[in-house]
Structure 1
Amino acid sequence: MRIRWLTAFLDFPTEQFGDEVTFWRAIAGSTVSPPRGANREFASLEPFNGDPHLRVQRVEEGSGGIHLDFHVDDPRAAAGAATALGAEVDREVSGDPGYLVLRSPAGFAFCVVPWAGESERSRPIRWPGDTISIIDQVCIDVPANDFDAEVEFWHRLTGWDVQQTAHPEMVRLRRDPALAVGILVQRLDAADDGTTARAHLDIAATAVVDEVARHEGWGARQIARFDDWTVMADPVGRQYCITARNPRTGL
């Protein structure tokens, strides 16, 4: 499967949609595109340069979450490649453009969608105080029993090499440098075995403390602080991480 572009999708329940879009638009330093879709449920967070790699969706059921969109030349062929590796097709959505919703072996939702020519990475934002940051990574949180198989699935589907990190419970897939979004896979505690894989967003920042303060000004709060990252919760409790990584390279 040739990945032409990769998008992180933030899914919000109807009652949270407006406020959540306002928060994440501010955090990303972006504007919001006009809504689209049959029910005007989709929008892009438009960067000041480059093509959008963050999109939002209003969902009618469930609590929302994060999913990935893989932009490809032939979604049906990509879905076939994914199912051959152990994914399941959840549903096919007709329309212009149509797309397919799948689930990985551990249950993480992702979509294969037609590529529309996106190719230009947006640059990180320089904030007052000289902090530089960008939302650039989706961390797939996987129950321990499913971890090895899930890493193998994403490695084979994307064709990206698996990179060990300084933390044994986390592995990174070496993304195509032309893409704005990377994938990290994290092994959850054994207590989460039997649950479905989920995901959260990671932000790369040059100064985590300053970035945390900026987010708190928009209504987020700290959950936990570690040497290399801080776990945050947005105004409705959705967790994400601010990480000490290079915003330009993701490393």
Structure 2
Amino acid sequence: MAILLDDDRATLHGGDALVVLPTLPAGSVDLVLTDPPYNSGGRTQSDRTKVSARDKYVSGDAQHQLADFVGDNRDQRAYTAWLALVLAHCLRASRPGASLLVFSDWRQLPATSDALQAGGWLWRGIVPWHKPISRPRAGGFKAECEYLLWGSNGPIDATRNPVYLPGLYSASQPRGAARRHITEKPVSLLAELAQVCVPGGMVLDPFAGSGSTGVAALSTGRRFVGVELSEHYQQVAVDRLREAAGSAWVASGPGPSVAS
């Protein structure tokens, strides 16, 4: 299933990333910007492998009932191998010099860096994301940062996009009615990160979720292609992308209804 904007600025594919990514044209992507299921959310094996993501990422006093998502209960070796396969397919779809930015928490930094390199990307560094709203931790330090691992498909030709970007970002997660996904990232942050993509270039998110990466890409004049497994979040993403683009959608094949 593919849902297309009528002006080809965005495409959302419904399905598993490992099935959809091999069908994308080789060398067609300028930036991979993605927030995979961390398969984290706990200090112990039993915590990390809980079936429900809500049990790991939603606090007991949360004031929302956002839909759960799947694919978040792999152990460490399974997570590393799976993510390396996904990122290898992303590499094939990316042009030489394209960048990869993949989110991780502190627990999965080692596994995610292994997956990035095993997937064939050249690892270039870590960009911290500071979250101003975070809970204190008695006797120690707040977990108030997540991280972006930066890689590239070989050498970067800076003349194509001569930007100078910061190495640290601060932005709060969406809250209240503005929040569409359990682990949603701020569009403002994603829009800043999208600046590493050449103007008018193609941004790929193989874990599109509620469509935040696509919204950010469109808002900065980039194009977008995403993949999302959950039919619920496909519909959420479609609605948000349609609003962001201010354009009609055309749907082909089975999938969520997008009729106006």
TM-score w.r.t. structure 1 length? 0.33
Higher relative contact order at CA 8 Å, sep ≥6: structure 1 or structure 2? Answer: 2
The answer to which structure has the higher strand fraction is 1
The answer to which structure has the higher helix fraction is 2
TM-score w.r.t. structure 2 length? 0.32
